[in-house]
Structure 1
Amino acid sequence: MGTVKTKNFDYGQEEIDYLKSVDAALGAAMSRMGRVERVIIPDLFAALVYAIVGQLISVKAVHTIWERMQGQFGEISPQNMAMQSADDIQKCGMTMKKAVCIQNIAQTISQGAFQLEELHGMSDAEVIKELMTLKGVGKWTAEMLLINSMERRDVVSWGDIAIRRGMMKLYGHHNLTKEQFEQYRLRYSPLGSVASIYLWAISFE
């Protein structure tokens, strides 16, 4: 059975201290919660597939499907996934639309029509723009790749419901405008990704 390699998002006391210094509410939550680990997938293709599977479904459901996929297909690589039928991918528990999307992206990459590795040399905005040329990949999916694979430091995703929910809980808002969100995002910068890791955890408390 192929298992996709994972590691924890790399951050330390310096990042924690910085965020505590710029935002008292977040700082208090960080002190209360202690260190929060974020498991990431360094392999770009596997992380992209994981993000597509994760669109609009619960974390628990994603884990179940992800385990099934690894059990069924072994290695989650472009070459391997390009050879699978959309039906077989779909049988792991996702919608047919997502299965077709994963199969198409795997074929595009395995044929050399999209160079995933080139993303490493691009800015966050360029990575998002490039990934969104792939059918089925929107801004949220691209932002998840930036955090959950590339370990980019300053990503706070407006499109992520859990992050918005974490902000609302943290600051006591009943709803959150884009303007309020932007104010917080700018306050956390340049360490928005570490703030996101805590906001996710707060939203699930």
Structure 2
Amino acid sequence: MMLNTFSTYNFLSLCDGLAGADADLAAIIEAHGYPPMWNRPNTFETLVHIILEQQVSLASALAALNKLREFIGEVTPEAALALSDEEWRACYFSRQKMGYVKYLAAELLSGELDLPGMGILPDEEVRARLTALKGIGNWTVDVYLIFVLQRADVFPMGDLAAVNALKRVKGFPRETHRDELLPVVEGWRPYRTIATMLLWHYYLS
């Protein structure tokens, strides 16, 4: 089964293809250039980082991750499980996120979760396996599919930056319900991820 992915070899041509079909996306490239091809390694640390980014600013998530790195060096499941609750709090982790990360670490150490194996699974199977874990919902899986597995057809409907950029680019009122945006997003198949990266690029610019 062929997985729909993107890479440095085809990223710019996929951007051009979408821009050729959607004048609003073309306008983003004209005004701001191509987006960076954001990616992250397929590691425990990356999933910890994405969990930290849930419902907080990217800067505060990174501050917590950096504090954790200071504390334990390499961010591994073994090192994470050795921390006391006080040490987690010193790394700016809420009780909830501390629980999520410890659960994730235990799943990896037990072999219940196999991160390298995720790379060969279809998107929906990756989603099913990850959302079965405590503290991992659809937004976290969307970010993992996009940044780590480089799957080309993901639109994170739970991502405020992407959704707000879409509303602005397409001229929708701010109060537009997300369901009303679906026809636009569907029009970007099978490269919704590339459209998302263009929207994030617009948002950040």
Asked if the contact 2:12/2:34 (under 8 Å) is kept, the reply is no
Distance in 2 separating the partners of 1:158 and 1:172 = 18
Asked if the contact 1:162/1:200 (under 8 Å) is kept, the reply is yes
Asked if the contact 2:145/2:151 (under 8 Å) is kept, the reply is yes
Report the Cα offset of residue 151 of structure 1.
Answer: 1.0
Asked if the contact 1:131/1:142 (under 8 Å) is kept, the reply is yes
Distance in 2 separating the partners of 1:183 and 1:152 = 21
Asked if the contact 2:42/2:115 (under 8 Å) is kept, the reply is no
**What letter is aligned with 1:185?**
V
Which ranges in structure 1 are unaligned for 5 or more consecutive residues?
A: 1-8
**What letter is aligned with 1:168?**
K
TM-score (norm 1): 0.88
1:178 aligns with 2:178: yes
Asked if the contact 2:11/2:37 (under 8 Å) is kept, the reply is no
Report the Cα offset of residue 179 of structure 1.
Answer: 3.4
Q: Name the structure 2 match of 1:149.
A: 148
More displaced 10-residue stretch of structure 1: 175-184 or 41-50? 175-184
SS of equivalent residue, structure 2 residue 92: coil
Q: Name the structure 1 match of 2:197.
A: 197
**What letter is aligned with 2:192?**
G
Q: Name the structure 1 match of 2:47.
A: 48
Aligned residues: 197
Q: Name the structure 2 match of 1:124.
A: 123
Distance in 1 separating the partners of 2:53 and 2:61 = 5
Asked if the contact 2:49/2:62 (under 8 Å) is kept, the reply is no
Q: Name the structure 2 match of 1:5.
A: none
Asked if the contact 1:158/1:181 (under 8 Å) is kept, the reply is no
Distance in 1 separating the partners of 2:119 and 2:33 = 31
Distance in 2 separating the partners of 1:111 and 1:39 = 30
SS of equivalent residue, structure 2 residue 71: helix
Identity %: 23
RMSD: 1.7
Distance in 1 separating the partners of 2:77 and 2:135 = 16
Distance in 2 separating the partners of 1:23 and 1:180 = 18
Asked if the contact 2:127/2:138 (under 8 Å) is kept, the reply is yes
Asked if the contact 2:42/2:116 (under 8 Å) is kept, the reply is no
Report the Cα offset of residue 37 of structure 1.
Answer: 1.1
Report the Cα offset of residue 38 of structure 1.
Answer: 4.2
CA 1:87–1:136: 2 relative to 1, 3 Å? farther
Report the Cα offset of residue 181 of structure 1.
Answer: 2.5
Which ranges in structure 2 are unaligned for 5 or more consecutive residues?
A: 1-6
Q: Name the structure 2 match of 1:4.
A: none
Asked if the contact 1:45/1:76 (under 8 Å) is kept, the reply is yes
CA 1:188–1:86: 2 relative to 1, 3 Å? farther
Asked if the contact 1:84/1:103 (under 8 Å) is kept, the reply is no
